[in-house]
């Protein structure tokens, strides 16, 4: 009997860029099924609030080949979808602000048996390639603002 290795990735994914694609492809390679939790605006408190609506961000992430299913995060408790999916791996982006040990402690407290792994960084392939939403927004403002 084969068991499916389930991976969860998560993020805001406001303006999708090659760094996001790299992260999600690496996350998908950590297992057999990749679920992506797209953050609700109310849960984004470590950077500027997203520009695009949550459902739009979810739908764009869901369209990526590496993603089996994209879902919206829970508005009050970010661990609710993790409890429902029961992943084997939580894949964090290389630069995500999360405290790995705090996440592991909360998973253990809730009886969720999974590991936390970090994806690698992706370096720009060209000098003009933008791998962050913040840099894309800055370029838009510089050129069109």
CATH number for position 70: 3.40.50.620
**For residue 1, is it within any domain?**
no
Is residue 43, in this structure, part of any structural domain at all?
A: yes
Q: What is the mean pLDDT of residues 1-23?
A: 92
Instruction: Answer for the pair 64, 24: CB distance below 8 angstroms, yes or no.
Output: yes
What percent of the chain stands above pLDDT 90? 81
Torsion of CA 60, 64, 70, 75, to 10 degrees: -40
Q: What average pLDDT does the chain have?
A: 93
Q: Quick one: tokens of 91?
A: 């894949």
- Show the tokens assigned to 124: 């720009």
The answer to the question of whether 19 is labelled as a binding residue is yes
pLDDT, tens only, 27-58: 999 999 999 999 998 888 878 899 999 999 99
In a domain, 93, yes or no: yes
> In which domain, by residue range, is 94 found?
6-144
The structure tokens listed for 122 are: 């992706």
* Three-state DSSP class for residue 63: coil
**Residue 20 annotated as binding?**
yes
What are the tokens at 53? 């609506």
Q: Say how many domains are in the chain.
A: 1
Is the per-residue pLDDT at 2 higher than 70?
no
User: Residue 94, annotated ligand binder?
Assistant: no
Q: Is residue 48 part of a domain?
A: yes
Residues in the chain, overall count? 145
Q: Are strands 89-92 and 33-38 parallel, antiparallel or unpaired?
A: unpaired
pLDDT tens-place string over residues 91-106: 999 988 888 999 999 9
- The answer to whether the CB of 17 falls within 8 A of the CB of 132 is yes
Residue 12 annotated as binding site: yes
pTM for the model stands at 0.93
Tell me which of 9 and 127 has the higher pLDDT: 9
Q: Is residue 36 part of a domain?
A: yes
Q: Residue 79, annotated ligand binder?
A: no
The verdict on residue 86 lying in a domain is yes
């Amino acid at each position: 009997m084969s068991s499916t290795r389930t991976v969860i990735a998560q993020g805001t994914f406001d303006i999708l860029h090659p760094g996001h694609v790299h992260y999600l492809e690496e996350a998908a390679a950590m297992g057999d099924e990749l679920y992506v939790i797209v953050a609700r605006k109310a849960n984004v408190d470590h950077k500027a609030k997203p520009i695009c609506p949550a459902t739009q961000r979810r739908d764009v992430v869901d369209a990526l080949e590496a993603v089996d299913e994209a879902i919206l995060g829970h508005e009050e408790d970010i661990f609710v979808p993790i409890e429902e999916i029961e992943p084997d791996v939580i894949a964090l982006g290389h630069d995500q602000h999360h405290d790995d040990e705090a996440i592991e402690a909360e998973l253990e407290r809730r009886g969720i048996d999974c590991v936390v792994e970090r994806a690698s960084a992706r370096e720009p392939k060209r000098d003009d390639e933008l791998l962050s939403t913040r840099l894309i927004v800055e370029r838009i403002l510089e050129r069109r603002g």
